[in-house]
Amino acid sequence: MTSVTPRLLAAALAIVLIGALPGAAATAKYGHTGARDRPLRDGCHDYRYHYVIKTPTNDWTLETFLVDPTGDTLASGTFIAGTDPRRGPGWFRFCRYSTRPGTFTIRAKVVWYSGATSTEHKRWFKPSTFRLTR
């Protein structure tokens, strides 16, 4: 039986936790998102952003998450190969009365599959930001 030291166990746990965080291995190699700065309009509206996917296979799914200045997730979107293009627009819908102006972050996770066994690969894009002003 192999004994595990507390230091080794702590190091292994840290590696697992860091790998699970969205920003831990964030990359632009497999795509990116972006949006322009703009005013936060009265009422509820769609706010446009764009995405680009650069996965090595054509079997992919992209999930996007809009995070407000307080760290809360306001909206999300999903794009799927075969239905959506590799690059294009997306829209997040939210309302001014429940949203503060400030810097917003788009986080995105792409998953693609490869090989005869459909090996799953997951990567988080580098987060992109934009500002909404009153």
* pLDDT one-digit tens code per residue, 19-73: 444 445 799 999 999 999 999 999 999 999 999 999 999 999 999 999 999 999 9
Domain that holds residue 97: 24-133
Any domain includes 64: yes
Any domain includes 13: no
> To the nearest whole percent, how much of the chain has pLDDT over 90?
78
Any domain includes 57: yes
Total domains in the chain come to 1
Any domain includes 19: no
Any domain includes 111: yes
pTM of the model: 0.80
Any domain includes 65: yes
Any domain includes 16: no
Any domain includes 100: yes
Give the domain CATH number at 106.
Answer: 2.60.40.2550
Q: Are 114 and 89 in contact (CB under 8 A)?
A: no
